[in-house]
Structure 1
Amino acid sequence: MNIDATIGTYLTTGALPELPADHFIAGAWTAPAANQRMETFDAGLGKPFHDFAAGNAEDVDRAVTSAHEAQAAWGRTKASARGAILSRAAALLREEAAWFAFVESLDSGKPLQEAEGDVAGAARAFEYYGGAADKIEGDTFPIGDAYLGYSEPEPVGVTAHIIPWNFPISTAARGIAPALAAGCTVVAKPAETTPLTMLMLGELLVRAGLPAGVCNVVTGTGADAGAALVSHPRVRHITFTGSVPTGQGVMQAASRHVASVVLELGGKSPLVVLADAALDQAADGVIGAIYENAGQVCSAGSRLIVERGAHDALLERVLARVAALRMGHGLRRSTLGPLNSEPHLQRVTAKVDAAKARGLAPIAGGSTAADPETGSGWFFEPTIFDDVPSDDPVVQDEIFGPVLAVQIAEDAEDATRLANCTDYALVAGIYTNNFSAAHRMARDIDAGQVFINEYFAGGIEVPFGGNRMSGFGREKGLAAMHNYLRVKSIAAKIG
């Protein structure tokens, strides 16, 4: 497929190649039980481009039953064979990366080059956990010469994956790949605004050799499909990425059947720039931290905490870079794409309007916008509020859009205090040339992950997750494997 030609044809005529439209259950496309359908939207144009299955509890039960029936055989499959399937999936995903990135960009709204990076990261996740599958080992226990004590890691069973709309393919991969490597089966429920690449991934895994029923995908709303999935009695573990209120509801649902949970929730992450930092490098980091995916990133650096001595020089550099951002449809490789949905655009707009009503004046942006070429789409200007009080909602509340709050610190100690001033603790960034100061701050800032002199540093190898209201549990890295394993201990008298 010539992706450039496909993009050109779509942007000119709206015509698309065939896209998945039904659930993927037991290795086959499956029509929704109630024969109900939903639309998915092109955020860059603000209009629907495809419809898909609107699932309900009956669809979810079919998918969970399929996963349950496949669990015993998959859990007993030789670990190296599981790993080989994941490695083949990584290779297939790389072969089809242009197609996946096109659909990801169209469905989510993000710039195509960002979607390409997400697909590459997803392939790397399957490759990484493909290599980890046969490294799962138990322990022996020193309980005396007359006894043999050892442990056996076992797959927890059927796992549910609630996938967010901001990073559909990469978030799916970072949870599903370790689950499959551990010998668990999967039921995935993608967000109702971005269902397509998860459906495509489910089918790709079967082509890579995954047995039917091991990975199932049910689409639909959170109320009709998501709630049924997280409350299903055969689900033994839930991996959830999303908002704090929804995550709290997932915990409550899981508790009824004593299922384990990993929650990756919201963030209001600080990016700290000390006066001795390389300011051009820091300014580039600020732009990437808050304006990637139009700020729709749980770990976005949505608070810039800058030491007073560097404030003016850094803001001059940041504002120049903001002015150079090119807003537009994601498929045109813009540098700032739209927000994912009209309701979300309304939420971001309301929060910014409320800040202005409180007397905060943005030094950049602050209003809704549109694609310059079409006058359409759900866009919001890249926005900056300067010298914001610590107790203001712009500092305290997750906006989840291209909105940056600047806080001014007197020194490194004050910057650490400001970094810890919210209820969230997902990630943090630090820019400084002082090695000792960087690592003291990394020690003292409450966050699940800290980046030094490069925001979003790391990769699939580095564990990721939050503290406090940002959730608990870790994804990525070998730490993620523990989410999908339970330990059985054996003690035997042999003498």
Structure 2
Amino acid sequence: MTESPTERNHPATESLLTQYPAVIAGKRVTTGRWIEVLDPSTARPFARVACCGAAEVEQAVAAARLAHETGWRFATAAERSLVCRRIAAGVRAARAELARLETRDTGKPISQALVDVDVAARYFDFYAGAVEALTGETILSQPDLLAFTLREPYGVSGHIIPWNYPLQVAARTLAPALAAGNCAVLKPAEDAPLTSVRLAEIALDAGLPAGALNVVPGYGEEAGAALTAHPGVDKLAFTGSREVGEAVMVAAARNIVPVTLELGGKSPHLVLPDFDAARAIPLIVRSITEHAGQNCSAGSRLLVHESVHDDLVAALAAEFRALRIGPGAGDPDLGPLISAKQRDRVLGYLELGRRDCVLATGGGVPEGAEYGEGFYVEPTIFDRVAPEHRLFNEEIFGPVLCVSTFSSLDEAVELADRTSYGLAAGVWTRDVSTAHWLARQVRAGQVFVNNYSAAGGVELPFGGYKNSGIGVEKGLEALREYTRCKTVAINTQPPGLSS
């Protein structure tokens, strides 16, 4: 491995591409191989990132182990808290740079990228405070026994994050892990790795020990597989598809390693006749069009009472048609999808919907020279989607809303729980008792009543039911996910005395 310069001529394109290294053992390094990073709004490369494999993962895990055993595990909660606060300050200081990079990398509108930066900083601030309040318990079980618990870090944590919210999800998993005293190896998605590299550089500048955070960009089948199978990793966190999540679990099982998995969803809005349209409609639209619907907890199913169905679908279709589509840098309502592969996947679902369902609006690719070669699709509503249909049950990961109707509360619950997912749900009613009953009945990790915020706030625990995953991220629960419980029991009976 060699130190990486900032820029170099790329032989494949014969143009100057910004070059991003891996970060291993506190050094900015290259590997001799590169991954081109495309701008989704143009389909053209604008940067390249070091491509890591098993050898680099081996070095990163060793560096994390050394940093953990020689220093970070012995740092006090106050010392770890201070470093996390400095990381948060560094993220805020680089706010404009990180947002531009996130927009160029993922295609999302710049205003959404700015929010991602703010939330990333908030994660480090939140866990900087929370870790100082992390305590064990005293257990009074016997008169002559002093028993108490300690919360201790696992050691080396491995993190594999997706391309849709790379900076936010990196911070979401790294902040509690580092605050709790673990040292980390992060494998970002090859489609959007750049802000992860910058986050590691910011963390080093903030005083995080060398090796405490390592970033190894690369392909899933190489770097990702090596990280999940590595016997030196003590805890794994993965956000992504159910299929890859299964592979992560299998690899972790071989090493008896605990996992936190967030595997997507098919989250419903349950709309009752007494819903507040002025409040609900903007949030329903935003929940499926934010970052072009590429959101694990996107509100992708609309389950609406038959008595208000026609008016609501008409209103939503009008809102969809008014959305501005374009490159993220121009801050439209809707940017491109991440890649040609993802666009083609979504277009396949649109073809199914046009064939089998009622198309309310959208359903194709926006026309116009301004879209160029970008990976755009129209925001789309399919109505009268049968519960047996693939559009009802499968995660599309695009700006596609599927509408179905119900006539009773029991039917609404049955439809909400019909899929194999259970990540989030929205309930829209003015009746408090009905809202409470539905929130208790629906099997989802987060239930929003008369509001909907994809994944909720930093403080709100976030985890899925069923195939949406296992474990909990965010909130105080995440600190517990990154620590293990040790029980200490001391005999307090004075020497020489019998009971």
TM-score between the two structures when normalised by the length of structure 2: 0.94
1:406 equivalent in alignment to 2:403: yes
Match of 1:262 among 260, 263, 266: 260
The amino acid across from 1:266 in the alignment is: G
AA matched with 2:163: W
Structure 1 counterpart SS, 2:307: helix
3-state SS in 2 of match to 1:368: coil
Does the CA-based 8 Å contact 1:156-1:236 persist in structure 2? Answer: yes
- Report the equivalent of 1:373: 370
CA distance in 2, matches of 1:183, 1:438: 40
Q: Cα deviations across residues 373-416 of structure 1 (Å, max 9, x unaligned)?
A: 24230001111110111110010111111111001111333212
Kindly state the Cα deviation for residue 353 of structure 1 after the two structures are TM-superposed.
1.2
The two structures, once aligned, show a CA RMSD in angstroms of: 1.5
Q: Report the counterpart of residue 424 of structure 2 in structure 1.
A: 427
Distance 2:176 2:321 in 1: 41
The partner residue of 2:314 within 313, 316, 322 is 316
Amino acid aligned to 1:421: R
Which ranges of 4 or more aligned residues in structure 1 deviate by more than 6 Å? none
- Structure 2 match to 1:25: 24
Q: CA offset at residue 304 of structure 1?
A: 0.4
Q: How much does 1:320 deviate? A: 1.4
Aligned-residue identity in percent: 43
Give the match for residue 224 of structure 1: 222
| Mapping for residues 287-298 of structure 1, pairs under 5 Å | 287-298=285-296
Query: Equivalent residue for 2:284?
Result: 286
Q: Quick one: distance in 2 between partners of 1:272 and 1:55?
A: 44
What is the rounded CA distance, in whole Å, between the counterparts of 2:164 and 2:107 in structure 1? 9
Pairs within 5 Å for 1:27-42: 27-32=26-31, 35-42=32-39
Given that 1:220 and 1:226 are in contact with CA atoms closer than 8 Å, whether structure 2 keeps it comes out as yes
Query: Which of residues 144, 159, 162 is equivalent to 2:160?
Result: 162
1:266-313 deviations in whole A, cap 9, x for unaligned? 200001111101112211111011111101000000000111111112
Report matched runs for 1:118-197 at 5 Å: 118-197=116-195
Distance, in Å, in 2 between the alignment partners of 1:183 and 1:18 is 37
Match of 1:326 in 2: 324
2:438 is paired with a residue whose SS is: helix
1:209-258 Cα offsets, whole Å, 9 max, x none, are: 10110000000100010000011000011110000000000000001111
Cα distance in 2 for partners of 1:414, 1:287 equals: 24
The separation in 2 between residues aligned to 1:132 and 1:422, in whole angstroms, is 35
The correspondence for 2:468, drawn from 440, 454, 470, is: 470
**Which deviates the most, 422-431 or 145-154?**
145-154
Unaligned runs of 5+ in 2: 1-12, 494-499
Contact (CA 8 Å) 1:369, 1:379: kept in 2 or not? yes
Mapped partners of 1:131, 1:17: distance in 2: 43
One-letter identity of the residue aligned with 1:407:
S
The 5 A counterparts of 1:23-172 are 23-32=22-31, 35-72=32-69, 73-172=71-170
In the alignment, structure 1 residue 276 sits paired with structure 2 residue 274: yes
Is 2:487 the counterpart of 1:489? yes
- Measure, in 2, the Cα distance between the counterparts of 1:479 and 1:426: 16
Name the SS for the 1:41 alignment partner. strand
CA shift for structure 1 position 145: 2.7
Describe the shift of the 1:20–1:67 C-alpha distance in structure 2 as closer, same or farther (beyond 3 A). Answer: farther
Indicate the SS of the match to 1:263: strand
Partner Cα distance (1:215, 1:235) in 2: 13
Question: Deviations for 1:12-48, whole angstroms, at most 9, x for unmatched residues?
Answer: xx9x99855111011110111xx11110000011111
Give, in angstroms, the shift of residue 351 of structure 1.
1.9
Q: Which amino acid aligns with 1:24?
A: V
2:30 alignment partner AA: A
Q: CA deviation at 1:80?
A: 0.5
1:149-184 Cα offsets, whole Å, 9 max, x none, are: 111111001000101000000101110000011000
* Bigger Cα displacement from structure 2, 289-298 vs 309-318: 309-318
Contact 2:301 2:402 in 1 (8 A): yes
1:148 deviation in Å? 1.6
Q: Give yes or no for the alignment of 1:440 onto 2:475.
A: no
Residue type at the aligned position of 1:471: G
Pick closer, same or farther for the CA change 1:370–1:180 going to 2, 3 Å: farther
Specify the SS of the correspondent of 1:142: strand
CA spacing shift, 1:20–1:153, aligned 2, 3 Å: farther
Distance 1:103 1:133 in 2: 30
Q: Distance in 1 between matches of 2:323 and 2:279?
A: 17
Amino acid at match of 2:386: P
The answer to whether the 8 Å contact 2:353/2:359 transfers is no
CA distance in 1, matches of 2:158, 2:286: 31
Q: Is the 8 A contact 1:371 1:379 kept in 2?
A: no
Deviations 1:417-476 (A, max 9, x none): 211111110100011111111111000000000011111174100000101011111100
SS at match of 1:439: helix
- Which letter maps to 1:442? A
Deviations 1:83-136 (A, max 9, x none): 011111111111211110000010011111111111111111110001012112
Q: Where does residue 203 of structure 1 map in the other structure? A: 201
Structure 1 unaligned residues grouped into runs of 5+: 1-13
Amino acid at match of 1:26: A
Query: Counterpart amino acid of 1:27?
Result: G
Q: Is 1:274–1:411's contact at 8 Å kept on the other side of the alignment?
A: no
User: Measured at CA, do residues 241 and 91 of structure 1 come closer, stay the same or move farther in structure 2, by a change above 3 Å?
Assistant: same
